[in-house]
Amino acid sequence: AQKITQTQPGMFVQEKEAVTLDCTYDTSDPSYGLFWYKQPSSGEMIFLIYQGSYDQQNATEGRYSLNFQKARKSANLVISASQLGDSAMYFCAMSPRGIQGAQKLVFGQGTRLTINP
């Protein structure tokens, strides 16, 4: 079974500062993918970034980067130069790779990020 743990229920950060959102995971799958999603108050789940378990480099996507430490089973999201529009819930999720058919995404509890002006 897969499990995602996000230990920060809420975070408050000043605008323009960098922020790190923590995510640890547990899985017995040999190959897997890790995802981060953003959910504004409107409700839509917006895909941000993906990291494959065998990828040699940490994923980056604009202001988002994923600090992947496989031995520690952590996949922290780093947002550089935070903006007011970054205020939202952030979810870490994972799914197995190399399995036939559609795969389940397992989500963490989420972290509510608030950016202060």
What is d(CA 25, CA 6) in angstroms, rounded to the nearest whole number?
9
Site mask for other proteins (CB under 8 A), range 55-74, x = bound = --------------------
37 beta partners: 47, 91
Nearer to other proteins, 12 or 47 (CB): 47
Applying CB under 8 A, among 18, 81, 84, 99 the residue interacting with other proteins is 99
What is d(CA 27, CA 2) in angstroms, rounded to the nearest whole number?
5
Residues 77 and 49 sit within 8 Å (Cβ to Cβ):
yes
Residue 35 binds other proteins, judged by CB under 8 A: yes
Candidates 13-21, 58-66, 79-87, 96-104 — which segment interacts with other proteins by CB under 8 A? 96-104
Q: Are strands 111-116 and 10-14 parallel, antiparallel or unpaired?
A: parallel
Residues engaged in binding other proteins (CB under 8 A): 4, 31-33, 35, 37, 42-47, 50, 52, 91, 94-105, 107-110
